[in-house]
Structure 1
Amino acid sequence: MNIQEYISSGIVESCVLGLAGEAERVEFEQMCALHTEVRAARDAFELSIEQQALAGAVAPPVPLRETILQQLAAETVPETIRSAPVVQMRPIRRSAVPVTMRYVAAAAVILLAGSALLNIYYFNKYRDYNQRYDQLLALQTQLAKNNNAMQTRMSNYEQTIRGLTNPYMARVTMEGKDVPDNGSPDPGSVATVLWDTRTKDVYLMVNNLPMPETGKQYQLWAIVDNQPVDAGMLDMSHGHMMVKMKNIPRAQLFAITLEQQGGSVSPKGPMYVMGKV
């Protein structure tokens, strides 16, 4: 594009006077940024317009200034405005905190810290005493249980002694060696049946029986007319104390077999001891 032809096309005058379209104005701004000739032509046209405006300006009459100043001086200020008192603004100063208040605040902080420390101390003491109380309570509970167990054991011992000294008690000693054909798994096993001949109550006392394996339990049988009759299950936790079993009106033999936990209707396990009445 020929720059001089572009300038001579009237685009400069149109853009400066605001007569050009949007596309022409954008293009003109780009040309001004790229070409110093276009920019110089724009500045020259703007300067010429300013000079023409100044050359054609009409100065106001000289008396006009004096007239305006006299009118401003003649205007009166309202009385309320002129008589309004002028208030002197003074900065507000905060009074200094008294020294005693500082000491009081410091003492309050110290007391607060001391109170917090005392609270922590007494809380730890309370927790310690509470733990000791729980331990003593648990110990007391355990002692009560032990006392109950001891009383139960003493009662069983007394019952055993009464049974052994009761003249109406028939004593039947059952031994492993008396099992026919050496059929006892432990020939050294011994147990004693105390049979009250008046009430027909049966008591069993273990002298020597091996501890059964898990899931097994000893069962006492009364042999009546060659038929086994369930006389009760043996709880080994009673040790050597006399334990009451079932009531048996009559019997010729007593025997103990090892059965499944809970017992059987008829003997199925091995016989450990047997004794004749």
Structure 2
Amino acid sequence: MDTKEYIESGILELYVYGLLSEVENIEVSTMAKNHPEINDEIIAIEKGIVALSSSFSPFHSVANFEKIKAKLELKHSGVIQMKPAANWQQYMGWAAAIVLMIGIGYQYQKLGQTNDNIVTIGIEKEKLNQELNLLEQKNKAVETSLAVIRDDKNTVVLLSGQAVDPKSSAKIYWNKETKVVYVDAKGLPEPPKGMVYQVWALKLNPLTPTSIGLLENFDSNNQKIFAVDDANYAEAFGITLEPAGGSLSPTMEQLYTLGKV
């Protein structure tokens, strides 16, 4: 067996730990004297063990540590013999250090799991808050719709379907005292992409249309109740389908609903 295989066999660690028989100790000591690399490896193992035990072990006094340190600082002409019977407290220190390291690793793992749980809880909380806000918005929209429909001071104008879509319908809720106007567009089909419904207040003689608002975000408005501008003493109302952003004047070919006050 060459020196590399001898070092990698693990016998040097057992030697340093004091776990070999007397015959095996003599063999390792002889190898160390004849092979400097083996002697250097033994010294390295001793230093590593002392460093580990001095960092973690509660069993070493300052005096014991200084003794070990002084021995390690000597120029080794031979190998320090370690008798297991006389060093059982040091082994206890190493064992305690290993147990402590395992415990620290376990606590670090648990800390990581706790942090992951905190992040997960935070994400779930944010989702719940978003859902709550959405429910509050929907509830507010429902309350607004009910308040509009139940207001006895509202003038209700029925808008019937026109040639482009006879099945269409809508309602205008107009409070002439508060100047508040709402449109119930439940009877209108979904507008095509890039198009929007535009509401017009009409003077009939002469025919004068005035835009009072757009029914924007039609698909996301579940109640299909839209607030628009004051009707300016309108005599009729009409709703046309216009390009996004609205038009200056109504496109009569796209007149969906119309009704007199």
- TM-score where L is the length of structure 1: 0.57
Q: CA deviation at 1:106?
A: 3.7
Structure 2 match to 1:160:
145
Structure 2 match to 1:125:
110
Are the equivalent residues in 1 in contact too, given 2:154–2:176 (CA < 8 A)? yes
C-alpha distance in 1, partners of 2:86/2:238? Answer: 98
Superposition map of 1:190-205 within 5 A: 190-205=169-184
Aligned match for 1:227, one of 205, 208, 214: 208
Query: Residues 21-57 of structure 1, C-alpha deviation per residue, up to 9 Å, x if partnerless?
Result: xxxxxxxxxxxxxxxxxxxxxxxxxxxxxxxxxxxxx
Query: Residues 99-150 of structure 1, C-alpha deviation per residue, up to 9 Å, x if partnerless?
Result: 2564444444433433333333333322222222222222222222222222
SS at match of 1:207: coil
Are the equivalent residues in 1 in contact too, given 2:142–2:223 (CA < 8 A)? no
Superposition map of 1:135-150 within 5 A: 135-150=120-135
C-alpha distance in 2, partners of 1:199/1:276? Answer: 20
Q: CA deviation at 1:275?
A: 1.8
Query: Where does structure 1 lack aligned partners over 5 or more consecutive residues?
Result: 1-91
* 2:249 pairs with 1:270: no
Letter paired with 1:200: K
C-alpha distance in 2, partners of 1:257/1:101? Answer: 102
Aligned match for 1:256, one of 226, 230, 239: 239
C-alpha distance in 2, partners of 1:93/1:160? Answer: 97
Letter paired with 1:275: G
C-alpha distance in 2, partners of 1:116/1:154? Answer: 57
Aligned match for 2:230, one of 239, 247, 252: 247
Letter paired with 1:249: N
Are the equivalent residues in 2 in contact too, given 1:253–1:274 (CA < 8 A)? yes
Structure 1 match to 2:158:
173
Are the equivalent residues in 2 in contact too, given 1:221–1:228 (CA < 8 A)? yes
Give the direction of change, closer, same or farther, for the CA distance of 1:121–1:258 in structure 2 (3 Å limit). Answer: farther
Cα root mean square deviation, aligned: 2.5
Moved more, 219-228 or 121-130: 121-130
Letter paired with 1:148: N
**Bigger-Rg structure (1/2):** 1
C-alpha distance in 1, partners of 2:228/2:190? Answer: 19
C-alpha distance in 2, partners of 1:101/1:233? Answer: 94
C-alpha distance in 1, partners of 2:121/2:248? Answer: 49
Aligned match for 2:193, one of 210, 214, 226: 214
Letter paired with 1:205: D
Structure 2 match to 1:45:
none
Give the direction of change, closer, same or farther, for the CA distance of 1:139–1:191 in structure 2 (3 Å limit). Answer: farther
Query: Where does structure 2 lack aligned partners over 5 or more consecutive residues?
Result: 1-76
- TM-score where L is the length of structure 2: 0.60
Give the direction of change, closer, same or farther, for the CA distance of 1:208–1:109 in structure 2 (3 Å limit). Answer: farther
The number of aligned residues is: 180
Aligned match for 1:114, one of 78, 99, 120: 99
Q: CA deviation at 1:195?
A: 0.5
SS at match of 2:230: coil
